Structure 1
Amino acid sequence: MIKKMVGFLTVLCMAFFIAGCSSTPDVSGTYLGLDDNNQPAGAIVLKSVGDNAYDCSLFISNRERTKMEKDWAGRVVLNIEKKALEQDKITPPDLFFNKDYTSITRTARSFSGASVEYTYKKLSNSEMKQYQHLFE
């Protein structure tokens, strides 16, 4: 009886381990980018619409730094192997996650043609309340 119980628990633990390892992280939320003066400069908002699919909105702050204005919106797919959000199979991704999915690095081209990186940190619920006025 004990051997059967141990065997059952072993199989159960393995099933939970496999399910946990293969699960896709939910990256929904608001990611905030700060400028050199630690003021909000931009934001990325991800809303889950399906398995690995997200509605993505990119916001930039206006000149007075009082509101966020939507700059771009579209559907993206999370590529787990690359830890990237892809718009389609042709366009190279420009949104990459860090190891634990708590921040996004966005690569862009400056006016001079040089590559520039912007980092956006995922906001907790309490942090989101602090910055909510920027999105109203």
Structure 2
Amino acid sequence: MKKGLWGVVTVIALSFTGCKKSETGNKAVLQSDGTEQSMTDSGKADPNIQYETDVNGKKYVKTDFVYKATDGSLAKVVFDYKEKTMSIRSNNKTFILNKVDSKGNEAVYEKMDMKARVKGDSLILDQGNNIIELVKTKI
């Protein structure tokens, strides 16, 4: 039993010391180029759409963001540009809103009494008498 345990420990120790650290970095890490480009939405440019670039230079649309409210709470927001919806998840509750308007650099999403305005890095939720201001974080 002890010989088997020592054998396993030796193999694990050798595997840690045998790995070389690559100087080129992790190829699986995605790098953001920091630029926001527009995608046409019913004939209009939508600057709220952000693109990311992988290490191979291929661009893709970034769809999920973390927003922080003024009270410090966090919300995950996922945009589905094909379905023209956005989902907001906070406190284990998810709200899915439909895009109703897009003008200039502002997009408006609604469902029943909840309304969301997205403009740049800010998101303003309006639900009846409650107005919640959120700002995009870099988490």
State the TM-score, normalizing by the size of structure 2: 0.45
Could you say which structure has the larger radius of gyration?
Answer: 2
State the TM-score, normalizing by the size of structure 1: 0.46
Q: Identify the structure with the greater helix proportion.
A: 1
- Higher relative contact order, chain-length normalized (CA < 8 Å, sep 6+): 1
Q: Identify the structure with the greater strand proportion.
A: 2
